Chains A and B, each alone.
Chain A
Amino acid sequence: MNMKRIQLIGVMLLAVAATAAQPVRAASTLSIRLVQTTPGPDSSPELADVLPALRRTLAAQGFRLRTTRQIPLPARQQVALADAITVRCEGDARNLEIRVFRDNTQLAHTRVNLKGGAPLILGGFQADDGSRLLVVFVAR
């Protein structure tokens, strides 16, 4: 095999390695959505990006968007959603601390590493009407 071929293969392998090693851009915005399960299959169109994941993993098939909030990352703020649910976020996407409250009572506390565009769904909290509430976090 001549040297040019060896060099060409080497360059191709380096290009593949460089592509795989591209640094991931840090997310700058956190989207927080409060979602309520519904008995029917109808869902809010604003949830189209997470609907497949919700339907694949949860028993409910209908989801209604209650509130949407966007906060900058890194975050250090408390966001009021609906149904007396409040979320407190601290940190950047790679080390984000999330606390969920209802009527100022803490329901859940978690620390997550959020990948850009990959949703974190935290829920199962009971609403007054017996349906379930869940909070969808997406870092972008």
Chain B
Amino acid sequence: MKQREPDNPFRTAEREALRTPEPEPDHAFWQRFAARAAARVPAAPARRARAGILLAWPPPLRQGLAAACAFLLLAGGGLFWALRPAAARAGSMIEFLSIDAAHDGIFILEDAGQQAVVVWIDERRS
């Protein structure tokens, strides 16, 4: 059987360095735990603030804003459609007109209700 060698100063120092520290008493550990738990947790909305001001709004407000934007977009499109120039709105368009009959006047009328175009020639007939 192998005999254990006697400790030399270096081995003793090494053993001292690697020695597990003595555990602290229970009450000291729980005191530190309670102190950490009672500490104020810092507010966490830093991420939201970075993401943009709109995301910081409450969800109902964001949804309302989105709905309002969509409504405005559609209403704007409808308004543009309704107010576009009469020439573009008219059903039929006259591109050229030449009257050979003797006349006292020519009237070009547009009936918006039926998108009709009326060319009225007040013919003068001898």
Contact = CB atoms under 8 A, between A and B. Distances in A.
Real complex partners, A and B? yes
Interface of A: 1, 5, 9, 12-13, 16, 20, 50, 52-54, 56-58, 95, 102, 105-115, 117-126, 132, 134
A112 B108 CA distance: 13
A117 B91 contact: yes
B97, B109, B119, B125: residue with the most chain A Cβ atoms closer than 10 Å:
B119
B118 interface: yes
A99 to B, nearest CB: 9
Contacts of A9: 66, 70
Contacts of B122: 124
B96 A124 contact: no
Interface string B93-126: 1111111110100000101011111111111010
Given A52-B113, A125-B121, A126-B123, A110 B66 contact: no
Interface residues of B, number: 35
B48 interface: no
Contacts of B120: 57-58, 121, 123-124, 134
A57 B116 contact: yes
A2 to B, nearest CB: 9
Contacts of A54: 118
A133 to B, nearest CB: 9
19 contacts: A16-B74, A50-B114, A52-B114, A53-B114, A57-B111, A95-B95, A107-B101, A107-B123, A108-B100, A108-B101, A110-B97, A110-B119, A117-B115, A119-B114, A120-B94, A123-B118, A123-B120, A124-B120, A125-B101
A112 B121 contact: no
A132 to B, nearest CB: 8
Contacts of A20: 81
Contacts of B77: 16
B63 A108 contact: no
Contacts of A52: 111, 113-114
B103 to A, nearest CB: 8
A53 B92 contact: no
